[in-house]
Amino acid sequence: MSAIDYSQKIPNNVDLKSDKRLQRALEQWQPDYLDWWNSTGPTDFNMKDVYLRTAVSVDKDGWAHFGYVKMPEYRWGIFLEPGDPDRKVGFGDHAADPAWQEVPGEYRNWLRRLIVTQADTEPASVEQQRLLGHTAPSLYDLRNLFQVNVEEGRHLWAMVYLLHSYFGRDGREEASELLERRSGNADHPRILGTFNEPCEDWLSFFCFTMFTDRDGKFQLLALAESGFDPLARSCRFMLTEEAHHLFVGQTGVGRVIKRTCEVMQEHPGKDVREYGAIPLETIQRYINFWSSSSTDLYGAEVSSNAANFFRAGLKGRAYEDKYEDHTALDGAYTIDRFIDGKLDRQEIAMRNAMNEVLRDEYIKDNLKGIEYWNRITEKEGVDFTFYLPHRRFNRSIGDYAAGRFDVEGHPIDEATWNARAQDWLPSDEERAYVKSLMKPVYEKGKFASWIAPPLRGINSQPIEFEYVKL
């Protein structure tokens, strides 16, 4: 089961060749996918050799192979973690029933919606990042961008396999629509807000991979618990790949911070912009923007959809194992609701609070990243403390979208917001400054003025390795 068959047009470990109909359907989707990649994926680098990792096995150790690949020749495939024939549904009303190998009819629409929503984020991020190759701060970073891009493409494959394989004609239609929506397109946008935001500079890219890919991690963790076994097994393997995307974000922002600190120490009292670095305050405002936008991705605080998905055994909690009670029928969750302009503490039935439960895990994980960045300023001897804005700050979805909140979560009026927003979110001038720094550095081992080199290279290669052959 875990051996990947690379002799096929579509590499896979699901014995695709034994299901001719499915194989044909996916082979028909494949050229459309490549058209999408060529027209909306990374521009102008498709003929270059990039030092990429490709999944060659789903074993925990040694799952990836590194080598030069031209992106359109990347072996996008379908890889599921090995199944356990005795696996049970882990939560909800069906807890302890055998896990489903086929779509349970009564939940078909919900399940399809969950898969399509996850699937849509994968091509969206590739579209958002399409122009970044032109301004990469180094070959190392250029390679990491492309690694993230090809793997988001593979995540789309993972979800499209489920749609084709288990949802018949509707699934095939959804799969083609996934190639038709476009990030930021007014008439045909991607499904979720953050995935329509422009991501035009590398500080945004690093914040995106830190905060938005981390939303992806927690959505995948929740879906990895699904009672629909093929979905759970797909998501588990996606999580293996996702770890690198989060690494790119966390260390990327960290290297920008480090570089600024170095400039501050070398030129005390000077404006770091004179030396082509990014002020720490600007970095904080980018953090505020991308973390608040990504916090929206969990949906409303009180949600009957989330309760239904949990009850049905389709979408669980991250790390469901750590809970004792997998039904979540008893017990309440305390939420500060925002009703008629006032915060009001309420007890909510646990199942209705599942979005909030997942958001809590996400925030905890984000805070670890903030701590990591504060260790960098500390080590560099710079007196500056990064923070994560409160979950109520700058929200567009849920209760808090109805009001204004400062970065500590206190309600404020519109006038205060208008006066303070520029302290908290990047201004146009600030964005223009960051953009003005975005000039490509393609020389081996060299880095742009605004970012420190990484501690080590990829796959034990030196930092000055030729990660992309231009």
Q: How far is the CB of 470 from Fe ion (least distance, A)?
A: 25
Kindly indicate which of the ranges 91-99, 130-138, 189-197, 237-245 contains the residues binding Fe ion, using the contact rule CB under 5 A. 237-245
Nearer to Fe ion, 140 or 211 (CB): 211
Nearer to Fe ion, 151 or 356 (CB): 151
Give me the residues paired with residue 338 across strands: 343
Tokens of 215: 């939303």
Nearer to Fe ion, 122 or 229 (CB): 122
Instruction: Give the whole-angstrom CA distance, residue 268 versus residue 137.
Output: 25
Q: In degrees rounded to 5, what are phi and psi of residue 66?
A: -105, 140
2-10 long-range Cβ contacts below 8 angstroms, 24+ apart: 2/57, 2/58, 2/59, 2/82, 3/57, 4/55, 4/56, 4/57, 4/58, 4/77, 4/79, 6/56, 6/75, 6/77, 10/76, 10/77, 10/78, 10/157
Nearer to Fe ion, 218 or 386 (CB): 218
- Find the binder of Fe ion among 120, 201, 213, 356 (CB under 5 A): 213
Tokens of 30: 């494949």
Count of residues that interact with Fe ion, criterion CB under 5 A: 7
Instruction: Give the whole-angstrom CA distance, residue 169 versus residue 167.
Output: 6
Kindly indicate which of the ranges 119-127, 338-346, 408-416, 422-430 contains the residues binding Fe ion, using the contact rule CB under 5 A. 119-127
Nearer to Fe ion, 216 or 398 (CB): 216
Nearer to Fe ion, 113 or 444 (CB): 113
Side-by-side strand order, sheet with 49-55:
64-70, 49-55, 468-469
Q: How far is the CB of 245 from Fe ion (least distance, A)?
A: 4
Q: How far is the CB of 442 from Fe ion (least distance, A)?
A: 25
- Annotate 185-221 with b (16+ C-beta within 10 A) or e (fewer): eeeebbbbebbbbebbbbbbbbbbbbbbbbbbbbbbb
Contact in structure between 206 and 253 (CB atoms under 8 Å): yes
Binding to Fe ion, residues 121-140 (CB under 5 A): 122
Nearer to Fe ion, 152 or 174 (CB): 152
Kindly indicate which of the ranges 39-47, 176-184, 195-203, 245-253 contains the residues binding Fe ion, using the contact rule CB under 5 A. 245-253
Nearer to Fe ion, 52 or 350 (CB): 52
Nearer to Fe ion, 53 or 285 (CB): 53
- Find the binder of Fe ion among 94, 143, 154, 155 (CB under 5 A): 155
Q: How far is the CB of 209 from Fe ion (least distance, A)?
A: 7
Contact in structure between 114 and 174 (CB atoms under 8 Å): no
Binding to Fe ion, residues 176-195 (CB under 5 A): none
Would you state the torsion angle of the CA atoms of residues 190, 360, 235, 306, taken in this order, to the nearest 10 degrees? -70
Binding to Fe ion, residues 7-36 (CB under 5 A): none
Kindly indicate which of the ranges 114-122, 192-200, 342-350, 376-384 contains the residues binding Fe ion, using the contact rule CB under 5 A. 114-122
Nearer to Fe ion, 179 or 277 (CB): 179
Nearer to Fe ion, 213 or 320 (CB): 213
Tokens 């993230």 -> residue: 148
Binding to Fe ion, residues 69-108 (CB under 5 A): none
- Annotate 1-37 with b (16+ C-beta within 10 A) or e (fewer): eeebeeebebbbbbebeeeeebbebbeebeeebeebb
Nearer to Fe ion, 112 or 155 (CB): 155
Q: How far is the CB of 440 from Fe ion (least distance, A)?
A: 23
Q: How far is the CB of 452 from Fe ion (least distance, A)?
A: 23
Binding status of residue 236 toward Fe ion by CB under 5 A: no
Instruction: Give the whole-angstrom CA distance, residue 435 versus residue 446.
Output: 19
- Find the binder of Fe ion among 75, 130, 181, 245 (CB under 5 A): 245
Q: How far is the CB of 242 from Fe ion (least distance, A)?
A: 5
Contact in structure between 41 and 71 (CB atoms under 8 Å): yes
Q: How far is the CB of 205 from Fe ion (least distance, A)?
A: 12
Q: How far is the CB of 271 from Fe ion (least distance, A)?
A: 35
Q: In degrees rounded to 5, what are phi and psi of residue 267?
A: -130, 70
Q: How far is the CB of 384 from Fe ion (least distance, A)?
A: 29
Q: How far is the CB of 198 from Fe ion (least distance, A)?
A: 18
Tokens of 430: 């600030």
Judged by the rule CB under 5 A, the positions of this chain that interact with Fe ion are 122, 152, 155, 213, 216, 242, 245
